[in-house]
Amino acid sequence: MTGDVSGDLTGRRLGNYRIDGVLGKGGMSVMYKATDVRLGRQVALKVIGEHLGADAEFRERFVAEARNTSAIDHANVVPLYDFGEIDGMHYIAMRLVDGADLASLISAGPMSPERVLRLLDQVADALDSLHSRGLVHLDVKPANVLVTSRESAREHVYVADFGLTRRGATGHRTRGGDFLGSPTYAAPEHLRGEPLDGRTDQYALACVLYACLTGGPPFKGDVPAVIKGHLAVEPPSVSRVVPLPAAI
């Protein structure tokens, strides 16, 4: 098969994987629900096309994502099963999480503080594991937090998408100078291109906490307005938007 990620691959084969349907699309990849025909196991299959795989910088980031994810053995990190390249198409096969991302939960409105703390405590635990290895995630946002209640009696969280994860990073941009990440949840030092460490992820997690409790991120508007908010405006108070228990 030729490598065109823009087309829907549903019903086709990519190596040992039968592609069953689309889970989601991003600007640079498509996430499919697929079946590993060797094991009869359903997986989430992230695929990029030939045109991006031919770009050395993007290919390096994609391979780094696979290696960073596979190096982290943690209950709250999506397990990686396999990665490779076939006919110019690069792919990563990982656990298929039967649930929803945190962004979709937030879209339904503010969440209870008790539930938020239960979920984000698991995210923080996963990030601690990264930071102890000298890694920084750099893209902590609701869409990269997967929530499922199918695996245990309580809601279980997985942190996903390690495509920007770096060791000893500075504010991450492409070689052409384009910002990598989500400005909506980016720390000031990330936006400025300064050295980054675990505190960069902690800032992003605090923004996610705000979004969970209020129903939206701390700074809204177009990208310049959001960036200005992170760089120059005092963070808004959650309690001014929604009532909180005295203990919080």
Residues 45, 14: contact at Cβ < 8 Å? yes
- DSSP labels for the chain? ----TTS--TT-EETTEEEEEEEEE-SS-EEEEEEETTTTEEEEEEEE-HHHHTSHHHHHHHHHHHHHHHT---TTBPPEEEEEEETTEEEEEEE---SEEHHHHHTT-PPPHHHHHHHHHHHHHHHHHHHHTTEE-----GGGEEEESSSSSS-EEEE---TT-EES-BS-B-TT--B-S-GGG--HHHHHT-B--HHHHHHHHHHHHHHHHHSS-SS-SSHHHHHHHHHHSPPPPGGGTS---TT-
Best CA proximity match to 24, nearest among 104, 105, 106: 104
What distance in Å separates the CA atoms of residue 204 and residue 208, rounded to the nearest whole number? 6
User: Does the annotation count 20 as an active-site position?
Assistant: no
Residue from 139, 178, 197, 222 carrying the catalytic annotation: 139
CB distance 187 to 203 below 8 Å:
yes
C-alpha closest to that of 59 among 139, 8, 15, 3: 3
Q: Provide the annotated active-site residues.
A: 139
